[in-house]
Chain A
Amino acid sequence: MLSHDVVIVGSGLAGLRAALEVVGHLDVAVITKVYPSRSHSGAAQGGVAAAMANVDGDSTDAHIYDTVKGADFIGDQDAIEIMCNDAPHVIVDMERLGCPFSRTGENKIAQRAFGGHSFKRSCYSADRTGHALLHTLFEQSMKKGGKLQFYNEYYLMRLIVEENICRGVVAMDMKTGKLEVFHAKSVMFGTGGYGRAYKITSNAYANTGDGISAAYRAGVPLQDMEFVQFHPTGLYQHGLLLSEAARGEGGYILNGNNERFMANYAPSKLELAPRDIVSRSEQTEIIQGRGAGPKKDYVLLDLRHLGKEKILERLPQIYHIAKDFIGVDALEKPVPIQPTAHYSMGGIPADNDCQVVANERGDLVKGFFAAGECSCISVHGANRLGTNSLLEALVFGTRAGKKILEKTTEAKWAPVNESREISAARREIDQILHNKGTESLAAIREELQTTMTDKVGVYRGKDDMEAAHEKIRELQDRFRNVKVDNKKSVFNTNLTEALELGHMLEYSELIVAGAQTRQESRGAHARNDFPDRDDKEWMKHTMAFRTDDGGYELKYRPVRVTRFQPEERKY
């Protein structure tokens, strides 16, 4: 059994930032199923929000209001205040740690416009801001030498929670297949989102939400799973992200008739309306037959008027992605785009110090913390504003680290039954390797992802959701006899993909269930049969609990409102 005071699962911005707060004071280890520099935080492109006011008269209050409104008033306002207040500090902090930022003429950190933000608030490093931040933290973690121990390419198998006390995790060394119990006083998850449940997605193959459902299986509820953000500028058919910076820098979105249709949906903000609104507008254009292309099933991102210099200097990654992946030269032609599953607003509920919440009353799970996309604190409510995710990971990663330091120092070791934990993980693997083997892993995954994109996507209909729910249950059933060719131990990606699919099937049902039950349209959750927001009935967070028979139960908890009462959301 391995033992560390603190075990952090996930090596993205939240996990690494927390680890850096703790290292040197406590024995801390970071477990990741990839390598730190390959965490999905690195794929974030456009920027990180902070009211630095480097280029205009921005203020923290404006940032708070924009975020509350962007969240369609279901974000917890005290958490949002913390995030926006801390924002300039964490940016300065990252700059000092060495993050390369693009600069203004006055040599300050450059800032640009982003959807739903009323000022130029996005600090950026060309269009690879997440990459710049992630590599900076990775560099800092190397500075710590052996004091910060990494377990790279370890796959999380189980979270150990007993009597509401978190005691560690079980993980598998992918290089050897060996199962290890990591005994810990405190465990933190920064395990990322669940966008891979969708067919058209900007998310990494790794973003299968393992941490979220591992927590759920250990008895922790999941919050607001129905809120899934669809990014308006996914590369057609691939779903790859083309940064919102494209619109921040002045790019247009056109329909098949070459019209800037956003004028009809968000007359004052146009292309820079929040993501939920732009995605819905695109989908509406496509549904109503005004899409582009032979099947009229996409719209266009037009950058040509920005000119070669601006595109290559500020949006180089977008230019290369369009060129390499679908052979479109963005200098010459508009790029085919469609909404793509992008961000998970829902996740593991946590308080403002990232301590995981055990129930609708707000009791805590002792020794368990969550930050970043896997968590639901909730700063994004029903719709996240672009550039607020990197910010959230940095702010709450830091806060989690501070709280972990405080709590772990005074915590005692809670016992773990090693052989029982290993057996439980082994049973799960054996169930996958040794069943009837009649069902194709790829087919189940494909059917799940297609179902989620087609039926629980940008618009959600009653019948579609019912069909999706039924389909997921059928797939869960079929999964019991999933066929895995590879029975070996060394780097068995066939096995880890099956384990990941098991997680996806588990929480996808909660996305649908939450969406079916929430009879209103709010933020990214848009129902055909309930097109309006219902503040009287639905100003509350969904909480899904796992029942003993493997089913689920939905409960609710109130939204924390401080300064801003709900109002009509117009742009």
Chain B
Amino acid sequence: MSQVTFRIYRFETGKDASPRYQEYKLALQEGDTLLNCLNTIRDTQDGTLAYRMSCGSAICGSCAMRANGHALLACKTQASSLVKNGVIQLDPLGNFPVIRDLVVDLEPFWASLRKVSPWLQPNLADEPVRERLQTPAQFHLIDDVTTCILCASCWSDCNVLEVDKKFLGPATLAKAHRFIFDTRDAKGQERMERIAEPNGVWDCTHCGECSTRCPTETKPLARIEETREAVMKAGITNSPGARHALGFRESMRWFGALNENYLPIRSMGFFNIPGILGVMPVGIRMMLKRKAPPILPHWIDKVGEVRRIFKRFHELRKNNGGTGAKTDGDD
């Protein structure tokens, strides 16, 4: 089959000042996975190439790396699907320090995971003699999220982590979801309060990279959205993230459009003077660059139509047993 150039990131911590790319040529065989190719390169061309692997069947997560800029599991990816102009470029997972070649230091990932008390905290008072009961539907709530293999592909491609290392990250938020939605857990409220704080569930920007890269059914973004809904429903709205979401909705309902003066103040909280002062410099810089929105609020022409949509939605939700978010000042 076709000859492919593998362009692979090389770096050794403590020795190399900066990384470089090394090229290896390999004739792809029918059905070759990316991991097979790496093994062939290592076995026949360069034994010094370092990468992790273990199960070879997409359940351990060791061989997560970036191919052509995006995270994936090398063991379950057909190499032929990655060839672009005869080249496959391989990099270590993003958002991690590199130890050697494609091997990264995963410690930030594990440290994040530990922050959400990732273990079941049941109500020990009513523990039955046998197993606790759970309906198939209740198991279904955590079926997808418990497929997570902690491969850190989501962490690698997360756009928030790229600029904010304190963000809990997609896998950790999925782990939190796993317990919030487990009917056997008794600490849901506490867990939700924890991840509603800054750096938690509200800091996700919905870019969706985590779910696109996730090699399992965990799909962190979907779990983050479910968690946000649960957080609102539980009435945990006293956080900038929740206020931002509510403010967004209020703004849409009242003005028919986003009011960019109202939103930051609403998000910080009207009486949060230090918080508001904190965002002031951004506002001033925007003004100086003539990017600031007009001071006077602007209503769109057919704002009545928008309000009618909100009203209709509210009625529908009422009739469906109120599955929407319960919030203070609910409209």
Residues of A whose CB lies within 8 Å of any CB of B are: 34-35, 37-40, 42-43, 52, 91-92, 95-98, 100-109, 125-126, 128, 131-132, 135-136, 139-140, 142-143, 175, 202, 204-206, 237, 240-241, 316-317, 320-321, 324-327, 440-442, 483-486, 488, 490-494
Contacts and interface: CB of A to CB of B under 8 A. Distances in A.
B54 A38 contact: yes
B149 A43 contact: no
Contacts of B57: 43, 202, 240-241, 321, 325
Contact of B56 (A140, A240, A327, A493): A240
A142 B114 contact: yes
A240 B35 CA distance: 14
Nearest to A489: B14
Contacts of A320: 58, 76
20 contacts: A35-B110, A40-B60, A101-B139, A103-B133, A103-B139, A135-B146, A136-B120, A139-B118, A202-B57, A205-B53, A205-B54, A205-B56, A324-B77, A325-B31, A327-B31, A440-B43, A441-B47, A491-B50, A493-B51, A494-B47
Contacts of B58: 320-321, 324
Contacts of B149: 37, 42, 131
Given A103-B136, A324-B76, A490-B100, A38 B12 contact: no
A108 B131 contact: yes
A317 B76 CA distance: 12
A38 B60 contact: yes
Contacts of A105: 136
B54 A204 contact: yes
B245 interface: no
Nearest to A132: B146
A152 to B, nearest CB: 9
Nearest to B184: A98
Contacts of A40: 54-55, 60
A321 B56 CA distance: 11
B48 A326 contact: no
Contact of A126 (B43, B56, B127, B143): B143
A278 to B, nearest CB: 20
B134 A485 contact: no
A492 B59 contact: no
B103 interface: yes
Given A103-B139, A107-B134, A125 B146 contact: yes
Q: Which of A39, A92, A139, A327 has the most CB of B within 10 A?
A: A139
Contact of A108 (B46, B105, B133): B133
B60 A142 contact: no
B205 interface: no
Contacts of A42: 55, 59-60, 149
B61 interface: yes
A206 B139 CA distance: 32
A485 B47 contact: yes
B272 interface: no
B99 A175 contact: yes
A485 B43 CA distance: 10
B182 interface: yes
A408 B93 CA distance: 42
Contacts of B76: 320-321, 324-325
Across the A-B interface, the 10 shortest Cβ-Cβ residue pairs: A98-B120, A485-B47, A442-B43, A107-B133, A486-B48, A38-B60, A494-B47, A139-B119, A95-B131, A143-B119
B66 to A, nearest CB: 18
A139 B179 CA distance: 11
Interface in B95-133: 99-101, 103, 105-106, 110, 113-114, 117-120, 122, 127, 130-133
Given A40-B54, A101-B139, A325-B33, A96 B127 contact: yes
Interface string B217-233: 10000000000000000
B150 interface: yes
Nearest to A490: B100
B252 interface: no
Given A204-B56, A441-B47, A101 B119 contact: no
Given A42-B59, A490-B100, A140 B131 contact: no
A42 B15 CA distance: 35
A66 B130 CA distance: 24
B54 A34 contact: yes
Contacts of B33: 325
B48 A488 contact: yes
A98 B119 contact: yes
Interface in B121-161: 122, 127, 130-136, 138-139, 142-143, 146-150
A218 B128 CA distance: 46
A493 B44 CA distance: 15
B150 A37 contact: yes
Given A142-B119, A325-B31, 14 more contacts: A42-B60, A43-B60, A52-B131, A100-B143, A101-B131, A103-B133, A107-B138, A175-B99, A204-B60, A317-B59, A485-B46, A486-B48, A488-B15, A490-B99
B54 A109 contact: no
Contacts of A108: 130-131, 133
B137 to A, nearest CB: 9
Interface in B27-55: 31, 33, 42-44, 46-48, 50-55
Nearest to B147: A128
